[in-house]
Amino acid sequence: MHIDDLMVLHQLKASNGLANWLIDCPSPDAPGFFLDTCMRQLAIPATLNLADSINGYAAGNALELFRGKDAYQFLLEVCTGLHSAIPAETNVLGQIKSAWSECTKHLRREDIRHLQPVIQSLLNDSKAIRHEHLQGLGGNSYGSLARKLLQPDPRGRILFVGSGELTQSMLPFFRNLNVGLWNYRLPVDAPVWTDHVFEPDQSAEAADWATVVILTTPPDTTNDHRWTRLLAEYPMEAILHLGVRRELPGIWAATSKLLTLDHVFDLRRSQTNIRNLQLQRAQAACAEQAEYRAKTSFNTQRGTQEKATSQASAKVSA
């Protein structure tokens, strides 16, 4: 794919977490890359023959549509966390990797060949920009903010429900506490220092053990029913659900001491140590790299990509 052919369709979700344009899209089975997070939905079509229908759909539904160099710059800004509620957070990078892995299960080989260079360039360029400009700024922001928000007792027992990318990014911030993990299926990727790894059929034992529960799982009827029941039976000092929004708690509405994703965002807004200069330089680097891609497209080697990003960084720093 040449960068001039790149299209990105985007919509931020409302504060209640709702957005259904991927479901309602006239061509729901159209080949492409799809990202659906708690904050946004995003699509990159794999074939040019969808351009007219996507352009019309975007206009009719007030969606953002980016093309060419602007599309790639926007993707870089999303991938580096510059459009996240917590600036420069890294979880979105894992979400993009997981979304691409899922998409490849359903795409035709020619569509994978069409999109693969775009996704790989996006991941490589984002990594280089993060290394140049965002070191230590976002890294494990969810973990840092969750620790500050919960202020757990040193003798407390912290149970993570879910063991995916978000949990893995947060665990280092709880290393000096008693930490347990429960996941609805095996295997569970747990650090060697974790105190307890509970089997899928040991959710009651996990709830009985914990004093604080952090759910990193997305909204899921089966899982949420299981844990609302367990947490009513085993009272906690605090419950943090990072897949639930304050305005739409759903079945969590009656749960005592529930903290949501919005509580984390509120805390982030109160922090004064966000270094705006780093964010501005990273955004400028995204624009520089998009300009570079407009000239070279997506068929260069990684070393060339990183060299170009470093040159862009030097210009921004000057």
Structure tokens at 145: 């903010």
Sort strands 212-215 and 157-161 into parallel, antiparallel or unpaired.
parallel
Convert the pLDDT of each residue in 88-144 to its tens digit.
888 888 899 999 999 999 888 999 999 999 999 999 999 999 888 887 665 447 898
pLDDT of residue 70: 96
CATH topology of domain 141-270: Rossmann fold (3.40.50)
Average pLDDT over residues 2-24: 72
Rounding to the nearest 10 degrees, give the CA dihedral for residues 292, 296, 302, 306: -20
Convert the pLDDT of each residue in 154-172 to its tens digit.
999 999 999 988 899 899 9
Q: Element (H or E) spanning 41, and its range?
A: strand 40-45
Domain ranges of the chain: 3-137+276-317, 141-270
Q: Which stretches within the chain are classed as H helix?
A: 21-24, 51-60, 68-79, 91-103, 109-133, 141-150, 165-170, 203-209, 221-233, 261-270, 276-296, 302-317
Rounded CA separation 9/58 (Å): 7
Rounded CA separation 173/160 (Å): 12
Task: Answer left, alpha or beta for residue 297, where phi above 0 means left and psi between -120 and 50 means alpha.
Answer: left
- Starting at the earlier edge strand, list the strands of the sheet with 7-12: 32-36, 40-45, 7-12, 64-67
Sort strands 212-215 and 238-241 into parallel, antiparallel or unpaired.
parallel
Cβ atoms of 46 and 32 within 8 Å: the answer is yes
Amino acid letter for position 199 = E
Residue 13, number of CB atoms within 10 A of its CB: 16
For the domain made up of 3-137+276-317, the CATH class stated in words is alpha beta
Provide the percentage of residues in the chain whose pLDDT is more than 70.
80
